[in-house]
């Protein structure tokens, strides 16, 4: 089935007891297993079934099945947040003395977890900035290669096939955070990547009303992560949140089309504005990753980043916006705007932010599904305020 059909039907089975067409919210912490013998088999993993909400739930399982179908994965495991998914992955697969290699930039929370938390437990963390240098970064201790594409917040594009080829040749697990692209625009597993990760809070849910995370990949690996990373750490997704995720995924293809259309229009407008120093958007032909993005993406996404003259100009621009809400996160149906250096990436050292291109003048826009003409009008009046302030200062 095509992806729009799978977004609606995958993981969806009318309830056998009641005939309910929408997956019910199974609001229970525990499940009766009926007999001593069956309980023993269930807890030993010898028989499929539900035993405790921290390990599995029918509503959550429907979300996992739908996401696995959309990504083309054998299986998926859901978590309470994107960071919970990342930490469960690393805590399951990494031991003291192991190494994780990542390609920058990353979401500030992810990079902070790598540099501040993993290192405290004896994991070596190595960062790079290009696929070309990746073979030199990998050592005998490397267990994971981790990257985003497009990256947060500078929207760099990494060639997934090239990364996967290097990882396979060196026997290293490749992991891609696909939050920005979603499975509607990019399916990393089709390019040879082994594990895909989402902060499902963003585009997968799509309405800014719940937190969730998910990993998808080989069934055996997902079962291992469920048994250890989920069962032991306990960052389980709730049934109500899974229900909201199922609702959101049904309209993911339609929403992504609107996000992409609006972002393309916004990027074109900003590129021509004299107050804007630089625009980061992979759909622009001038973007250094444009050709790779064309090859591995079905569209160019709903995120646009722009650089103004200074931090003060960025602050004035943000404070002048009316339709764009100043807030972190992204992927909502409503347009959002934020200043990464002082919000999502604030805890990173200034020199690290600068090295990643997260300057004090950078603004990240999450373009919603509103009419692009209205969004451009809002950007125009905000940029007019910036232009007037620049004239006064000169």
DSSP state of 52: B
Sheet strands (E) in 35-112: 75-79, 99-103
Cβ contact 256:302 at 8 Å: yes
Question: Which tokens is 58 given?
Answer: 């029918």
Q: Which residues pair with 338 in a beta bridge?
A: 364
**Tokens 């970064």, residue located:** 137
Cβ contact 364:338 at 8 Å: yes
Active centre residues (catalytic)? 54, 107, 177, 202
Question: Which tokens is 317 given?
Answer: 């621009």
Distance CA 161, CA 193 (A): 8
DSSP state of 344: T
Question: CA torsion angle for 220, 221, 226, 230 (degrees, to 10)?
Answer: 170
Crossing angle of helices 239-250 and 252-271, in 10° steps, is 70
Phi, psi of 175 (to 5 degrees): -130, 130
């Amino acid at each position: 089935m095509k992806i729009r059909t799978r977004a609606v039907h995958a993981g969806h089975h009318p309830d056998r007891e009641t005939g309910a067409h929408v997956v019910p919210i199974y609001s229970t912490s525990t499940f009766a297993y009926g007999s001593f013998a069956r309980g023993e088999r269930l807890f030993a993993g010898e028989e499929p079934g539900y035993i405790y909400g921290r390990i599995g739930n029918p509503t959550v399982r429907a979300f996992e099945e739908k996401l696995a179908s959309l990504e083309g994965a054998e299986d998926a495991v859901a978590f309470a947040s994107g960071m919970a998914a990342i930490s469960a992955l690393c805590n399951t697969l990494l031991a003291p003395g192991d190494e994780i290699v990542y390609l920058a930039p990353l979401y500030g929370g992810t990079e902070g977890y790598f540099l501040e938390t993993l290192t405290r437990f004896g994991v070596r963390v190595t960062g790079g900035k290009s696929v070309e240098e990746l073979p030199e970064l990998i050592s005998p201790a490397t267990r994971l290669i981790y990257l985003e594409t497009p990256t947060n917040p500078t929207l760099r594009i990494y060639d997934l096939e090239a990364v996967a080829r290097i990882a396979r040749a060196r026997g290293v697990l490749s992991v891609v955070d696909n939050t920005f692209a979603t499975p509607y625009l990019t399916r990393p597993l089709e390019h040879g990547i082994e594990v895909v990760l989402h902060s499902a809070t963003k585009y997968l849910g799509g309405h800014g009303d719940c937190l969730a995370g998910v990993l998808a990949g080989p069934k055996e690996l997902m079962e291992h992560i469920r048994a250890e990373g989920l069962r032991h750490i306990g960052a389980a997704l709730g049934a109500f949140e899974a229900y909201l995720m199922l609702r959101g995924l049904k309209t993911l293809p339609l929403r992504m089309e609107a996000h992409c259309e609006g972002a393309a229009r916004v990027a074109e407008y900003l590129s021509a504005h004299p107050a804007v120093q630089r625009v980061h958007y992979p759909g622009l032909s001038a973007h250094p990753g444009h050709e790779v993005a064309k090859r591995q993406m079905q569209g160019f996404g709903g995120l646009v980043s722009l650089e103004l003259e200074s931090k003060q100009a960025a602050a004035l621009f943000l404070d002048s916006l009316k339709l764009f809400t100043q807030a972190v996160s992204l992927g909502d149906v409503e347009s959002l705007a934020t200043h990464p250096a002082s919000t999502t990436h604030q805890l990173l050292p200034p020199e690290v932010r600068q090295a990643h291109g997260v300057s004090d003048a950078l603004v990240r826009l999450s373009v919603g599904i509103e009419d692009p003409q209205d969004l451009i009008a809002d950007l125009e009046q905000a940029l007019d305020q910036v232009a007037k302030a620049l004239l006064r200062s000169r």
